[in-house]
Chain A
Amino acid sequence: GDSVTQMEGPVTLSEEAFLTINCTYTATGYPSLFWYVQYPGEGLQLLLKATKADDKGSNKGFEATYRKETTSFHLEKGSVQVSDSAVYFCALYMNRDDKIIFGKGTRLHILP
């Protein structure tokens, strides 16, 4: 079945470091791809999305590019802040199923 695999955490970085969180997917067809973020004590929030190959989603300095050839949607940020500390979930959506499938999440710690 359709699935999402993302790098295990926790990931610990210093403030202003470059961030990459890897995500790959398996799907029969052409899913939409998402990154959701869960800040401590809060619900999941949509961070960014891409709906077709080569699309780039971006928000709050984060970016991810939908790569069909490598079935990947890696999350990047050039300079992280302490406030970016959270759990990040890669996810996919297939129209035929009308539901979102999540990866296991990657916890990110940013040190001041």
Chain B
Amino acid sequence: GAGVSQSPRYKVAKRGQDVALRCDPISGHVSLFWYQQALGQGPEFLTYFQNEAQLDKSGLPSDRFFAERPEGSVSTLKIQRTQQEDSAVYLCASSLVGVSNEKLFFGSGTQLSVL
């Protein structure tokens, strides 16, 4: 497709379950970002990849959060032992080369609800 694709669109998990969220960036985009957007808030940075290298993971809130991009294309954000405070929309964005070209393309997000 032409845009950033995220799946699933909605995910409901019971507290304590593990979840995996997928992001398909725009083909050829080198950089990939994950953001967390809580209800009524702006997106908060989680982590950043350039190709397969995770260059910044300073925004991951705990060691229950893990992200990978093994072949430099599709990325997966995994949350282990989900907690209610993990409920949020998880946004993926990609750009051609870093943010220095200053244009991120966002997916529609995965809305995670932890019960």
Contact = CB atoms under 8 A, between A and B. Distances in A.
B37 to A, nearest CB: 9
Contacts of B44: 102
Interface stretch (B10-18, B67-75, B78-86, B106-114): B106-114
Contact of A95 (B33, B43, B100, B105): B100
B99 interface: yes
Interface stretch (A14-22, A44-52, A60-68, A70-78): A44-52
A76 B42 CA distance: 20
A89 interface: yes
A104 to B, nearest CB: 5
Interface residues of B, number: 26
B45 A101 contact: yes
- Report the interface size class on chain A: 20 to 34
B102 A32 contact: yes
B45 to A, nearest CB: 5
Contacts of B42: 4, 89, 91, 102-105
Interface string B40-59: 11111100100000011000
Contacts of B105: 43
A93 B104 CA distance: 11
Contacts of B43: 44, 89, 102
Interface of A: 4, 32, 34, 41-46, 49, 51, 89, 91, 93, 95, 98-105
Interface of B: 3-4, 33, 35, 40-45, 48, 55-56, 91, 93, 98-100, 102-109
